[in-house]
Amino acid sequence: MAKEKMVPIKEAQLTNNCPECYHQDLKLTFYQKHTYGVFFHRTTKEVIHQIVCKKCNSMIYPVKWTDDIERLFTYYEKTVVPEKKSRKPTLLFYALFLVLIVIVAVGVYFSLGGTITY
């Protein structure tokens, strides 16, 4: 089973008022989804965001955003540069691939009679 992890790619401090407690200390974070499997590690294009008040620790959902928060969000959204979509094999994949090559080579060696002549 693959594990999913949201990796932060950009954080920004906002000085707008929190809609819950009216404190001026918000944190905007953009995350990119990474999937870690047994044979491959995959980076996806999926990027999500989260705005949290540092004082009351409440998440600020888009329904409660003010115009100022929305303007800053669109600005920071344009500056986010996610990693490219990729798939990288793990060490276990390479090890199993090497074992498979050795098994095929041994099978070919013994099918030729166990001797190689030049």
116 CB neighbour count, 10 Å cutoff = 8
Q: Report, as an integer, the average pLDDT of 46-71.
A: 90
Q: DSSP of 14-43, one letter per residue? A: E-SPPTTT--S-EEEEEEEEEEE-SSEEEE
Binning pLDDT at 50, 70 and 90, where does residue 66 land? confident
pLDDT of residue 18: 85
Where along the chain do its domains lie? 3-90
For residues 59 and 48, the answer to whether their CB atoms sit within 8 Å is no
Q: Report, as an integer, the average pLDDT of 56-83.
A: 90
- Mean model confidence pLDDT for the chain: 89
pTM to 2 decimal places: 0.75
Is 80 exceeded by the pLDDT of residue 27? yes
Binning pLDDT at 50, 70 and 90, where does residue 55 land? confident
Nearest to 66 by CA among 14, 6, 3, 13: 14
